[in-house]
């Protein structure tokens, strides 16, 4: 039987990679729901090809643009996932970018048997709510951010107490080892990632290594291990994604070509083989190098030393402030280097310390209150 598929963020980089795998294997999958936020032309062309039953979008402007196409093609447009009825997706892919993905991810779990989550910001801001919903609805979960996908596989059937350290690799981004004035970096330069083709926000995060800081937080939540167990190492080839060092003296690492289709396809299938996803030559490359991540050259690493901030409220603040500062950089309102400098100085401010003392994250609404508070701190 074909697997029923739902894709949140189908017009983004992860969404498109997923649809490329599906389009090579039409007999295995039936795309039931697509979702996008602004690129209505791409969403329409995806809908023409995959003929979903539903398109979900909370963006009024996009909905207006696709309304007549959907009526003509008998596609139901919904602006709230809770309007879905009597449906269970075999696999959902959560690939909206940013905290905007949190509510859709939470809402889709009850309609899904299995969810592949790429959207790290939703995990960082709302893992305890996501986890509760996964358990309540008996929905299985696979992280598809490549580092987390690797750890997930490396620790399968292992005792968590046997883990000494976990290393997350970072490519170093487009500026690693280059003698350039980072203050003069433009958004266009910052989004040119050397190894991966990704959305704009994650590409900027990779350029100043904020992506790795977010990934350490994401990993500590998913695997329920303290932040101090995680180390960042620079690996410019992006072929090893994580290394798990065990207390028995053995270390395991996972190698795969730097193409997100590999973790996605291996999560869509239980028995996957490579020509189902790509005809590229993905053979084993031998020249691998690893370097220490130097805190003097990479200021974002300082965030992982702010132990008083490293709790659920602090994680939401770190993520929200970063999202807002990235937006400002993209609008040319602040310098590239300001993203981390401002983030560090705001996190160190009295107002943040007071907020952390006086507010609890009990309800999902508290996450968005913290997000709004973060917005008020950035000028």
Q: Which residues pair with 165 in a beta bridge?
A: 245
Q: Please choose, out of 25-33, 90-98, 174-182, 356-364, the segment that lies near ligand NAD by the rule CB under 6 A.
A: 90-98
Interface residue with ligand NAD among 3, 4, 6, 12 (CB under 6 A) is 12
Rounded Cα gap, residues 328 and 295, in angstroms = 24
Give the interface size with Mg ion as a residue count (CB under 5 A): 3
Give the interface size with ligand NAD as a residue count (CB under 6 A): 27
92 binds, among ligand NAD, Mg ion, none (CB under 5 to 8 A by kind): none
Rounded Cα gap, residues 143 and 98, in angstroms = 16
Q: What torsion do the CA atoms of 165, 169, 172, 173 make, to the nearest 10 degrees? A: -140
Interface residue with Mg ion among 30, 121, 145, 218 (CB under 5 A) is 145
- CB nearer to ligand NAD: give 34 or 243: 34
Q: How far is the CB of 317 from Mg ion (least distance, A)?
A: 21
Give exposure, 156-173, as e/b (b: 16+ Cβ within 10 Å).
eeeeeeebeebbbbbbbb
Site for ligand NAD in 281-340 (CB under 6 A): none
Interface residue with ligand NAD among 70, 76, 100, 344 (CB under 6 A) is 100
**Residue 36 found at the interface with ligand NAD (CB under 6 A):** yes
Q: Which residues pair with 292 in a beta bridge?
A: 233
Q: Please choose, out of 78-86, 96-104, 236-244, 346-354, the segment that lies near ligand NAD by the rule CB under 6 A.
A: 96-104
* Structure-token match 């909206």, residue found: 96
Q: Please choose, out of 142-150, 260-268, 327-335, 358-366, the segment that lies near Mg ion by the rule CB under 5 A.
A: 142-150
Q: How far is the CB of 65 from ligand NAD (least distance, A)?
A: 13
Q: Are 92 and 6 in contact (CB under 8 A)?
A: yes
Contacts of residue 119, Cβ cutoff 8 Å, sequence gap at least 6? 8, 9, 94, 95, 96, 97, 98, 101, 102, 105
Q: How far is the CB of 81 from ligand NAD (least distance, A)?
A: 11
First to last CA, the chain: 53
Q: Are 4 and 108 in contact (CB under 8 A)?
A: no
Cα–Cα nearest to 86, from 41, 40, 53 = 53
Interface residue with ligand NAD among 84, 93, 118, 303 (CB under 6 A) is 118
**Residue 259 found at the interface with ligand NAD (CB under 6 A):** no
Phi-psi region of 252 (alpha: psi -120 to 50; beta: other; left: phi over 0): beta
Cα–Cα nearest to 98, from 379, 374, 356 = 374
Q: How far is the CB of 282 from ligand NAD (least distance, A)?
A: 16
Q: Please choose, out of 45-53, 195-203, 289-297, 366-374, the segment that lies near ligand NAD by the rule CB under 6 A.
A: 195-203
Rounded Cα gap, residues 55 and 70, in angstroms = 8
Interface residue with ligand NAD among 66, 92, 121, 336 (CB under 6 A) is 121
**Residue 37 found at the interface with ligand NAD (CB under 6 A):** yes
**Residue 30 found at the interface with Mg ion (CB under 5 A):** no
Rounded Cα gap, residues 226 and 218, in angstroms = 11
Q: How far is the CB of 344 from ligand NAD (least distance, A)?
A: 21
11 binds, among Mg ion, ligand NAD, none (CB under 5 to 8 A by kind): ligand NAD
C-alpha distances in angstroms, 67 versus 8, 57, 81, 328?
19, 11, 17, 32
Q: Please choose, out of 65-73, 95-103, 171-179, 287-295, the segment that lies near ligand NAD by the rule CB under 6 A.
A: 95-103
Site for ligand NAD in 143-162 (CB under 6 A): 145
Please return the burial class of 249, using the count of CB atoms within 10 Å of its CB with bins 0-12, 13-18 and 19+.
exposed
Which DSSP letter does residue 359 get? -
Output the DSSP codes for 130-170. HHHHHHHTT-EEEE-SHHHHHHHHHTTT--GGGEEEEEEEE
133 binds, among Mg ion, ligand NAD, none (CB under 5 to 8 A by kind): none
**Residue 260 found at the interface with ligand NAD (CB under 6 A):** yes
Interface residue with ligand NAD among 163, 202, 222, 346 (CB under 6 A) is 202
Residues in the site for Mg ion, rule: CB under 5 A?
145-147
- Chain contacts with ligand NAD (rule: CB under 6 A): 9-15, 36-38, 58, 95-97, 100, 118-121, 145, 196, 198-202, 260
């Amino acid at each position: 039987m074909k697997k029923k598929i739902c894709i949140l963020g189908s017009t983004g980089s992860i969404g498109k990679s997923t649809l490329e795998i599906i389009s090579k294997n039409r007999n295995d999958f039936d795309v039931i729901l697509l979702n996008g936020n602004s690129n209505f032309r791409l969403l329409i062309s995806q809908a023409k090809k995959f003929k979903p039953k539903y398109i979900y979008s909370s963006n009024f402007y996009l909905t207006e643009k696709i309304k007549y196409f959907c009526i003509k093609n008998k596609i139901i447009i919904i602006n709230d996932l809770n309007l879905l009825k009597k449906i269970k997706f075999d696999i959902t892919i959560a690939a909206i970018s940013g905290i905007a993905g949190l509510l859709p991810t939470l809402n889709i779990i009850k309609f899904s048997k299995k969810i592949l989550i790429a959207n790290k910001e939703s995990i960082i801001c709302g893992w305890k709510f996501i986890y509760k919903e996964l358990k309540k609805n008996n929905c299985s979960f696979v992280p598809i951010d490549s580092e987390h996908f690797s750890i997930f596989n490396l620790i399968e059937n292992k005792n968590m107490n046997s883990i000494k350290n976990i290393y997350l690799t970072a490519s170093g981004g487009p500026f690693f080892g280059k003698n350039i004035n980072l203050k003069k970096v433009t958004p266009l330069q910052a989004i040119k990632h050397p190894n991966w083709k990704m959305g704009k926000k994650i590409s900027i995060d990779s350029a100043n290594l904020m992506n790795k800081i977010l990934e350490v937080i994401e990993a500590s939540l998913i695997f329920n291990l303290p932040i101090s167990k995680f180390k960042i190492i620079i690996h410019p080839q992006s072929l090893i994604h994580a290394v798990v060092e065990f207390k028995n003296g053995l270390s395991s690492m996972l190698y795969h070509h730097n193409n997100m289709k590999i973790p996605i396809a291996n999560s869509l299938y239980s028995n996957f083989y490579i020509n189902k996803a790509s005809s590229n030559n993905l053979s084993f490359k031998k020249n691998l190098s690893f370097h220490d991540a130097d805190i003097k050259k990479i200021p974002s690493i300082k965030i992982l030393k702010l132990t008083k901030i490293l709790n659920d409220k602090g994680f939401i603040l770190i993520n929200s402030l970063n999202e807002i500062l990235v937006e400002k950089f993209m609008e040319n309102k602040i310098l590239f280097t300001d993203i981390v400098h401002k983030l560090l100085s705001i996190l160190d401010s009295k107002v943040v310390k007071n907020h952390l003392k006086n507010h609890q994250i009990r309800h999902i609404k508290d996450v968005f209150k913290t997000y709004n508070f973060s917005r008020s701190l950035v000028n």
